[in-house]
Amino acid sequence: MSRKQRLPFKRNTESNIQDERKYPAITNRVAENKATLQEVFHNSTDIKFREFQIPLQNVTGAFLCYMEGMVSEDSINLNIMEPLLEASQHLDNSSDEVMTFIKNRIVQISDLSEVTTTEEMVNGIMVGKTAVIVEGSNKILLINTIRYDARAVEEPDTESTVRGPREGFTEVLKTNTSLIRRRVKNPNLVFEDMEIGKLTKTIVRIGYIEGIAKEEVVKEVKKRLKSIETDSILGSGYIEQFIEDGKNSPFPTVGNSEKSDKVAAKILEGRVAIICDGTPFVLTVPFLFIEAFQVPEDYYSKYFITSFIRLIRVLALFLTVLTPALFVAAATFHQEMVPTLLLTTMAAAEEKVPFPVLIEALLMIVVFQLLREAGVRMPRPIGSAISIVGALVIGEATVQAGLVGAPMVIVVAITAITGFIIPVLNNPIILVRYFLLFLAGSLGLYGLLMGILVVIAHVCSLRSFGVPYLTPIAPVVLSEWRDFPLRLPIKFMKKKPHSTVETNKGDVSK
Amino acid sequence: MNKTICSVPAKIMRNVVLLLTLLFLTGCWDRQELTEMGIVTGIALDMNKETGEYILTSQFLRPASQSTVAPTPNEPFILISATGKTIPELMQKTNRNVDRNGFYPHNKVIIMSEEVAKSGVLHLFENFQREQNIRSYAWLAVAKGTSARSLLEKHKTSISSIPASFLNNLFMDANADAVSSNLLNFYKKALKKGESPVIAVLSIDEGVEMTPQTTKLSGGAVFDGDRLAGFLNERETMAYNWVKTKIRNETLGSYDFLSEDGSIVALALIDKNAKINPNVSKGSLDSFSIEVNLLTELSEHQPMKEFNENADIIHYLDNIEKQAEKKMKADIRHLTETAQKELESDILGFGDRLYKRYPSVWNKVKDNWRAHFKDLEIEVEVNVKIKNSGLIKGTLLPESM
């Protein structure tokens, strides 16, 4: 009974919004149509009406309707108003209906359409189109005058590179699409739109290369997107949570990036990009575990260093997850494993500390987490002040105050620094770290090993849009090891990874 | 509205609680904090001559004085002694005398006095194997001419502040004139029929004028089974090492001898390879042959002459090789005679070789191997090769006026 109840946010999706089907139909009376619009928009102040008369055979009443801030007013003035008011000059062939005449002869804008329902009209106005309503016509002209203020294309803060393209996505869907299209000039690159969110009506666009992306993945993406039922989509993070596979797993199974070159590369590897209007983060699926270790710069620089750095990243993952747990296990259960000299200095450091090692480790890791959170949420100038306090707190001071031993500071420092190396896996890293720390503190290395097995089993069980999460490690796909853990020279990288690429059809890149 | 407060289904909640119980109620059974344990780095076994009880001396570390931040001025170690009959009893009594629990896996050396060694030791070490609290890699030594406890005191010539690590380094850098053996080697040989263990000997040199009191690792202590039978001197130990010990520390030390013309030659031993072969004919043991091949470098000679031709040098080196072979052969022969006649211990492992090569022959003789061993015929062959003479032409000579 109550067990079957769904999560609470689903219940709130029932909204008291006026049903769209109840909109009054469009009539051929200007005044009635205007009244309808005013009612639909509840006399909102950013809806602008401009009434005027068209000097045709018999002077006709008409009005424009648009949403302030979403349109280019210059364009309306020059390309719509001015020609309309001087319409009489064109008055040589008046056999056409007024609307057709305006459309064919007067308006100087390429993208326009005729609509006949209030719903279409309202939706058009909301995205920044201008509606032209003329007395005596059941049709309404929707002219594309969309223009709104947007951030310029900048280098993203989250993924900065030393070498390589710096263009990052913006909040504007059109710009983002063009950034990808500019990199992949191929007619097989397809974009498809859909609208998600009952209230926000966010446009979500998927992009893939027909013939490279696996058909079933594309179908699955569309199916999952269509099945999203929600009021609002305010960022690609919402979509990610709706469509991801492991909803109860901390491991990400949907990738995201702010860098256009990275997304282009993913699309070329047969992945599907999901661009959400209003967010600079573009999602890519399927997302594999190894992608967390791959950075665009890896492909722009020589393979020696890249391969080495890849290995360092793998090492960093293990260090950041295991260091505190290993230290606690060694210091409380397996003292015989520690070299004698190190054990002596560890014991010397612990001599004046009142807490068990596990409590010490927890204390330091939680303090670090707090400092980090404080630093991230604060504006820049205050953030630096916090890091100074933090350096003092987890540095000398705690040791001198006798709260923790000096080796613990090193352990936390290693954990913290290596934690920043793989930002993609940030969430699972933190959770797994605590999980293993508790196990190591209560059962020693035995517990730690059990914990690691549980985590590995969990990660192995994950899939991202049908592709096993740990490909090519498990299942082993040796041919894809050219890109993990090492990055082989570029001559070996010509082929596309075949766990994400459509293999039934010929490779269109040839 | 009660239903909506707890949205997690009761079944899941129950399982979570059960799992947490597993983690929190069971406790951490062998958890030991660093501040609760006393790290023991060396132990010494003496014997109370009157009562026959053992005295165990453990060297505990004082970590605080080893601190890298603010070391305390105390001595970095303390010695705790306890008297008792068995090792577990001794260890418990030790814990009573000190404010920490003894933690033995980091123990580096086990030293026993001559009395303890003579009375047999395997029954003492049995506890180490049963409880696995002392590693088999701990060095094992007999204290010669001094009590075992005195060797755990601070040494005058020690650079490291902890006596155990001083001793540890002595063992690691042991030269050809000393045996350095660990507990595991001792077990292996003492538990075998065809070989007697030889272990390290630590002694204190009282010293004269220039050389102050020093602690010395040299010679070897020969055991018969698990009882001390006697000692090898440095020359004998060197011969023992040529035949038995695997090469360690790059060099096996240096060997010097008086050559025919009365000058002293010093050879650095750089590699060796030795074989012991039983000679069996018609199912009965005839003799044993020892073959030792030594690779050396000429490190010093004072013959006072210069060579003008390469042939001279070759001839000269050949000559030295021959002389060295003769001397070494004599040394090894002396060692085997000592072992056979004086110590009556099969330290070179002839019995073991025989068992491995001719098990059936061994089975015939193993029951009175001791008697057989005394009268064994042993042939010794030594081959010395000088690989390098330091690239100087002849020797260094003062230019005569």
Residue B54, min C-alpha distance to chain A (Å): 26
Give the number of residues written for chain B: 401
Residue A388, min C-alpha distance to chain B (Å): 23
CB contact under 8 A, A336 and B61: no
CB contact under 8 A, B68 and A340: no
Secondary structure (3-state) at B68: coil
Taking the C-alpha atoms of residue A119 and residue A18, their distance in angstroms, rounded to an integer, is 12
Residues of A in contact with B37 (CB under 8 A): 335, 347
- Can you give the pLDDT at residue A465? 92
Through-space distance between the first and last CA atoms of chain A, rounded to whole angstroms: 58
CB contact under 8 A, B30 and A333: yes
CB contact under 8 A, A443 and B28: yes
**Does residue A17 contact residue A199 with C-beta atoms inside 8 Å?**
yes
A436 to chain B, any CB pair closer than 8 A? The answer is no
B35: nearest CB among A340, A343, A350? A350
Share of chain B above pLDDT 70, in %: 91
pLDDT digits (tens, 9 = 90+) for B32-59: 888 889 999 999 999 998 998 999 999 9
CB contact under 8 A, B23 and A332: no
How far is residue A437 from each of residues A365, A478, B199, measured CA to CA in Å?
Answer: 10, 34, 45
Segments making up each domain of chain B, as ranges: 34-232, 233-393
DSSP states of A324-349: HHHHHHHHHT-GGGS-HHHHHHHHHH
CB contact under 8 A, A357 and B3: no
B163 to chain A, any CB pair closer than 8 A? The answer is no
A351: nearest CB among B3, B31, B64? B64
User: So what's the ipTM on this one?
Assistant: 0.82
Taking the C-alpha atoms of residue B373 and residue A413, their distance in angstroms, rounded to an integer, is 65
**Does residue B220 contact residue B198 with C-beta atoms inside 8 Å?**
yes
Residue A322, min C-alpha distance to chain B (Å): 19
**Considering only residues 1 to 30 of chain A, which have any Cβ-Cβ distance to chain B shorter than 8 Å?**
2-3, 5, 7-8
A250 to chain B, any CB pair closer than 8 A? The answer is no
DSSP B177: T
- Can you give the pLDDT at residue A459? 95
Sign (positive/negative) of CA torsion A129, A50, A116, A223? positive
B108 to chain A, any CB pair closer than 8 A? The answer is yes
Taking the C-alpha atoms of residue B390 and residue A86, their distance in angstroms, rounded to an integer, is 111
Residues of B in contact with A348 (CB under 8 A): 63-68, 71
Taking the C-alpha atoms of residue A105 and residue A124, their distance in angstroms, rounded to an integer, is 22
Residues of B in contact with A332 (CB under 8 A): 28, 31-34
- Judged against a pLDDT cut of 90, whether residue B194 lies above it is answered with no
Say how many C-beta atoms besides its own lie within 10 A of residue B299's C-beta. Answer: 17
Residues of A in contact with B63 (CB under 8 A): 344-345, 347-348, 350-351
Residue A436, min C-alpha distance to chain B (Å): 12
Greatest mean pLDDT range, A227-236, B127-136, B246-255, B293-302? A227-236
B34: nearest CB among A347, A399, A443? A347
B30 to chain A, any CB pair closer than 8 A? The answer is yes
Report the chain B residue with the minimal C-alpha distance to residue A5. B7
- Please choose, from the candidates B22, B133, B32, the residue with its C-alpha nearest in 3D space to the C-alpha of residue A329: B32
Taking the C-alpha atoms of residue B295 and residue B242, their distance in angstroms, rounded to an integer, is 11
Please list the pLDDT of chain A residue by residue as tens digits (510 residues). 444 444 444 444 445 554 555 788 888 888 888 998 988 888 889 999 988 888 776 777 889 999 988 898 888 999 888 888 887 666 655 556 778 888 888 888 888 888 888 888 888 898 889 999 988 888 889 999 888 888 899 998 888 888 889 999 999 999 999 999 999 999 999 999 999 998 888 999 999 999 999 999 999 999 999 999 999 999 999 999 999 998 889 999 999 999 999 999 999 999 999 999 999 999 999 999 999 999 988 899 889 999 999 999 999 999 999 999 999 999 999 998 999 889 998 999 888 889 999 999 999 999 888 888 888 777 877 777 777 887 777 777 888 888 888 899 999 999 999 998 999 999 999 999 999 999 999 889 999 999 999 999 999 999 999 999 998 898 888 888 888 888 888 888 877 777 777 765 444 443
Report the chain B residue with the minimal C-alpha distance to residue A356. B33
Cα–Cα–Cα angle for A38, A44, A46, rounded to 5 degrees: 115
- Please choose, from the candidates A91, A87, A260, A290, the residue with its C-alpha nearest in 3D space to the C-alpha of residue A172: A260
pLDDT digits (tens, 9 = 90+) for B67-104: 877 788 888 999 999 999 999 999 999 999 999 999 99
CB contact under 8 A, B30 and A444: yes
Report the chain B residue with the minimal C-alpha distance to residue A6. B7
A384 to chain B, any CB pair closer than 8 A? The answer is no
Which of B206 and A420 is assigned the larger pLDDT?
Answer: A420
Strand-pair partners of A112? A143
Residue A224, min C-alpha distance to chain B (Å): 26
- Can you give the pLDDT at residue A189? 94
Taking the C-alpha atoms of residue B286 and residue B295, their distance in angstroms, rounded to an integer, is 30
Residues of B in contact with A343 (CB under 8 A): 34, 39, 106
| Mutation for testing the B interface, residue in A6, A327, A333, A335 having most B CBs under 10 Å | A335
B25 to chain A, any CB pair closer than 8 A? The answer is no
Taking the C-alpha atoms of residue A84 and residue A102, their distance in angstroms, rounded to an integer, is 8
B5 to chain A, any CB pair closer than 8 A? The answer is no
- Please choose, from the candidates B225, B78, B91, the residue with its C-alpha nearest in 3D space to the C-alpha of residue B162: B78
CB contact under 8 A, A347 and B30: no
Residues of A in contact with B33 (CB under 8 A): 331-332, 350, 356-357
Report the interhelical angle of A340-350 vs A406-419 (nearest 10°): 100
Q: Would you call A305 exposed, middle or buried from its count of C-beta atoms within 10 A (0-12, 13-18, 19+)?
A: exposed
A446 to chain B, any CB pair closer than 8 A? The answer is no
Residues of B in contact with A340 (CB under 8 A): 39, 41, 106, 108, 165
B74 to chain A, any CB pair closer than 8 A? The answer is no
Taking the C-alpha atoms of residue B358 and residue B352, their distance in angstroms, rounded to an integer, is 10
Residues of A in contact with B36 (CB under 8 A): none
A4-24 in b/e form (b: 16+ CB < 10 A) is eeeeeeeeeeeeeeeeeeebe
Greatest mean pLDDT range, B223-227, B244-248, B393-397? B223-227
Element (H, E) at B242: helix B234-244
- Can you give the pLDDT at residue B38? 92
Helical residues (DSSP H) of A333-425, grouped into ranges: 340-350, 357-377, 380-392, 398-400, 406-419
Q: Which CATH class is domain B233-393?
A: alpha beta
Report the chain A residue with the minimal C-alpha distance to residue B132. A336
Reading the block at residue A446, the tokens are: 């035995």
CB contact under 8 A, A3 and B9: yes
Q: Which amino acid is at B310?
A: N
Secondary structure (3-state) at A91: coil
Residue A323, min C-alpha distance to chain B (Å): 18
